[in-house]
Amino acid sequence: MRCESVILAAGLGTRMKSSRPKVLHPLGGLPLIAYSVDACRQATGSEPIVVIPLDAEEIRRACGPGVEFVEQENPLGTGHALMQAAGRLPGRSELVLATSADMALLRAETLADLVEHGRRHPGPITLLTAISPVSRGFGRLLRSEAGDVVAILEETHADEKQKAIEELNVGAYVFRLDWLREQLPRLPRSAKGEYYLTDLVAIAAKAGEPIEAVQVADLDEIIGINTREHLAEAEAALRRRINRHWLESGVSLQDPATTYIGPRVILGAETFISANTHLEGATSIGEACRLGPNTIVRDSRIGARCEIEMSVLEGAVLEDEVSVGPFAHLRRGAYLCQGVHVGNFGEVKDSRLEAGVKMGHFSYIGDASIGENVNIGAGTITCNFDGERKQRTEIGDGAFIGSDTMLVAPVRVGRGSRTGAGSVVTRDVPDGSVAVGVPARVIRKQEVGKDPHA
């Protein structure tokens, strides 16, 4: 049976006390809606339909390509939201999975299991439940003496005895589509003038239709996000989930409580992550690396056997066996080839450092191409901005840049050349030359690759 999915994402989220729509608040660095879209896509094998409020361009962008949208002009409840989407569901489909965007921790595997139960169940509704003494504001499942589900009672309408019921409605359903289309127009309007999806359960029960309840085992999955406190709770649960996955995959975490790994990060086996390390965005880490402590890596690609200590990497690429830090900053466009070392308080931006480059400490390399086995002395700076635009610096293979050298771009230091300490290089230095002074002047030539002191 083909199953489509509908994600309800038109709620105002007033309890977040934010000008930002609730479904755009970040969880693990991604907007809430992204988790529901991914989970529904995996569970059904097709693109979801997302019900959104009017003029919700940010939500459209956050969902990404392929998703279909339906606007709910008047927010008249969950039942009304599904009514807007029902007409857009393909006629060839037999089932529809309906869930809410504020249930971001529901796994794709859990929703896929719900769909599979819906395929096997002869009745019109299969719903997701949890047994928990903490209600989280969910409705309670009411059962007959025979144990059949007969209704869902919202918490606000429950008396004390009913509030003691621990079987909760999580808010994810699989409906037989033909039955749903027939029954949605029959939903009663509440005293508040809204249509509730949960009323479909009572409608089915009164008609003698069987209703199946599928229980969630992991209670972290049912953290619904309606307030900032809920969001913080979900953040902690997501971190536990992600860290557990990587621990089981051969990654060592010194202190999982202070390790933050984003949902799209990829880690190689035998990597060791020290305390207070943040790995964010589309980051990939190779095997047998050592990261941290106090390190942030964002949207970067790191090869195998690299060491990064107390540093920040943003949009950087490191090949194998690179060492960075402490207190280094690799900015967007930094590319470090195999065996490069960047020491304490080094900064690299929009530059490529070829294999074997050593950049000890207190240096800035921006908009530059650095050849193989170059030594960059302490305090070296590429002066890459002329007041109007960025200019390039080139340093040839095997060059030695003396401490406190200023390279005023555009400029080239040739292969095997040297600069004296404190030099200000404003003109190109030919291959195999020694340049010193302010401004730097070539004082002698040397044979490239030969020690000038020999």
Distance CA 2, CA 119 (A): 9
Contact by Cβ (8 Å): 104, 28 = no
Q: What's the chain look like in SS3?
A: CCEEEEEECCCCCHHHCCCCCHHHCEECCEEHHHHHHHHHHHHHCCCCEEEECCCCHHHHHHHCCCCEEEECCCCCCHHHHHHHHHCCCCCCCCEEEEEECCCCCCCHHHHHHHHHHHHHCCCCEEEEEEECCCCCCCCEEEECCCCCEEEEECHHHCCHHHHCCCEEEEEEEEEEHHHHHHHHHHCCECCCCCECCCHHHHHHHHCCCCEEEEECCCHHHHCCCCCHHHHHHHHHHHHHHHHHHHHHCCCEECCHHHEEECCCCEECCCCEECCCEEEECCCEECCCCEECCCEEEECCEECCCCEECCCEEECCEECCCCEECCCCEECCCCEECCCCEECCCCEEECCEECCCCEECCCCEEECEEECCCCEECCCCEEECECCCCECCEEECCCCEECCCCEEECCEEECCCCEECCCCEECCCECCCEEEECCCCEEEEECCCCCCCCC
How far is Cα 19 from Cα 85, in angstroms, rounded to an integer? 26
Let me know if 361 is a catalytic residue.
Answer: yes
Contact 304, 286 (CB under 8 A): yes
Which entry of 80, 157, 361, 453 is annotated as an active-site residue?
Answer: 361
Catalytic residues, by residue number, are 361
